[in-house]
């Protein structure tokens, strides 16, 4: 059985005192998902998500903490694969605030409730919830 390590991002930005979350959609009627991709040989999971967000999405970000982990198995052409996904809480910089405009319809920023409805899997909704809770904790510590 093959194993693949995947890295994923729960990306947020601060807008008008609230957190907005980022999802990507492959089409207008498709469910949303967090940015993710494979970890290359010799690459850390943090390095991989930074590369993916920078090279493929053009984002400048800061990794805050690991949000959570998920594992699932699938089978393609009789080949069983186990995917281990590491999710990270990531803050988007101010210069990324142009994302999610009409020029880029596959990218969507939104408040927690809105993004939760767009996400296509229960696993990703759970990670969004964990990311929101983690962000609240980090903000409490920062204020103290």
Rounded CA-CA distance 46/86 in Å is 9
**Between the CA of residue 65 and those of 8, 10, 46, 85, what are the distances in Å?**
12, 10, 10, 14
Residue 105 has what pLDDT?
A: 46
Residue 10 near residue 87 (C-beta atoms within 8 A): yes
pLDDT digits (tens, 9 = 90+) for 82-132: 999 999 999 998 655 555 444 444 888 999 999 999 999 999 999 999 999
Residue 102 has what pLDDT?
A: 40
Query: Helix, strand or coil for residue 101?
Result: coil
Residue 95 has what pLDDT?
A: 58
Query: Helix, strand or coil for residue 83?
Result: strand
Residue 97 has what pLDDT?
A: 54
pLDDT digits (tens, 9 = 90+) for 21-69: 999 887 777 889 999 999 999 999 999 999 999 988 888 899 999 999 9
Look at residues 83, 78, 71 and name the one whose alpha carbon lies nearest to residue 2: 83
Angle formed at CA 7 by CA 87 and CA 103, multiple of 5 degrees? 90
Residue 131 has what pLDDT?
A: 97
Residue 41 has what pLDDT?
A: 94
Residue 98 has what pLDDT?
A: 54
The CATH code of domain 2-143 reads 3.90.79.10
């Amino acid at each position: 059985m093959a194993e693949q390590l995947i890295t994923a991002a729960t990306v947020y930005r601060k807008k008008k005192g609230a957190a907005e979350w980022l999802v990507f959609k492959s089409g207008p009627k498709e469910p949303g998902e967090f940015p993710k991709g494979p970890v290359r040989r010799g690459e850390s999971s943090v390095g991989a998500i930074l590369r993916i967000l920078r090279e493929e999405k053009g984002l400048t970000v800061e990794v805050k903490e690991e949000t959570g982990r998920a594992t699932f198995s699938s089978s393609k052409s009789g080949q069983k694969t186990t995917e281990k996904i590491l999710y990270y809480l990531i803050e988007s910089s101010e210069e990324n605030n142009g994302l999610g405009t009409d020029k880029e319809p596959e990218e969507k920023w939104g408040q927690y409730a809105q993004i939760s409805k767009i996400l296509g899997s229960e696993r990703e909704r759970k990670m969004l919830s964990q990311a929101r809770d983690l962000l609240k904790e980090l903000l409490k510590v920062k204020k103290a």
